[in-house]
Amino acid sequence: MKSKKTVFFCKECGYESPKWMGQCPGCRSWNTFTEETVAPQKSRAAAGERMRASSREPVMLKDISLDREERKSSGIEELDRVLGGGIVPGSMVLVGGDPGIGKSTLLLQVCKNLADQGTSVLYISGEESLRQIRMRADRIGTFKDSMELLCETNLDAVRDVIEKKKPFAVVIDSIQTMYDEEVGSAPGSVSQVRESTNVLMQLAKGLGVMIFIVGHVTKEGNVAGPRVLEHMVGTVLYFEGDRHASYRILRAVKNRFGSTNEIGVFEMNNEGLKEVTNPSEYLLSGKPQNSSGSVVTCSMNGTRPILVEIQALVCHTNFGIPRRTTVGTDFNRVNLLMAVLERKAGLSLGDMDAYVNIAGGMKMTEPSVDLAICMAIASSFRDFVIPDSTMVFGEVGLAGEIRAVSMADRRVQEAKKLGFETVILPEVCRSSVRNPGGIKLIFVSQIREALGAFR
With H, G, I as helix, E, B as strand and everything else as coil, classify residue 119: coil
Question: Is 3.40.1050.10 the CATH classification of the domain at 282-452?
Answer: no
Rounded Cα gap, residues 152 and 30, in angstroms: 35
Residue 183 phi, psi (nearest 5): -100, 120
Residues 51-66: b if buried by 16+ CB within 10 A, e if exposed? eeeeeeeeeeeeeeee
Task: Return d(Cα 240, Cα 101) in angstroms, integer.
Answer: 7
| Sign of the dihedral through C-alpha 237, 365, 99, 146 | negative
Strands (E), 233-323: 235-240, 247-255, 263-269, 272-275, 294-301, 304-316
Q: What does the pLDDT profile of the chain (455 residues) look like in tens digits? A: 455 678 888 877 777 888 898 998 878 888 888 887 665 544 444 544 554 444 567 888 887 776 656 788 999 999 999 998 899 888 999 998 888 888 999 999 999 999 998 889 999 998 888 899 888 888 888 887 888 999 999 999 999 999 999 999 999 988 888 988 877 777 777 778 888 888 999 899 888 899 999 987 765 556 655 566 788 899 999 888 766 667 788 988 889 888 888 888 898 888 888 888 888 887 788 888 889 999 999 998 877 888 999 999 999 998 888 999 999 899 999 999 999 999 999 999 989 999 999 987 788 889 999 999 999 999 999 999 999 999 999 999 999 999 999 999 999 998 998 889 999 999 999 998 988 788 999 999 999 999 988 76
Distance CA 67, CA 218 (A): 42
CA distances from 136 to 94, 133, 144, 267 (A): 21, 5, 15, 17
71-277: CATH number: 3.40.50.300
Give the start-to-end residue ranges of the domains of the chain: 1-38, 71-277, 282-452
Separation between Cα atoms, residue 305 and residue 19, nearest integer Å: 51
CA 33/CA 22 separation, integer angstroms:
8
Peptide bond into 191 cis (omega under 30): no
Cross-strand pairs, 306: 299
Could you tell me the strand order of the sheet in which 324-327 lies?
Answer: 324-327, 352-358, 304-316, 294-301, 390-392, 422-426, 440-444
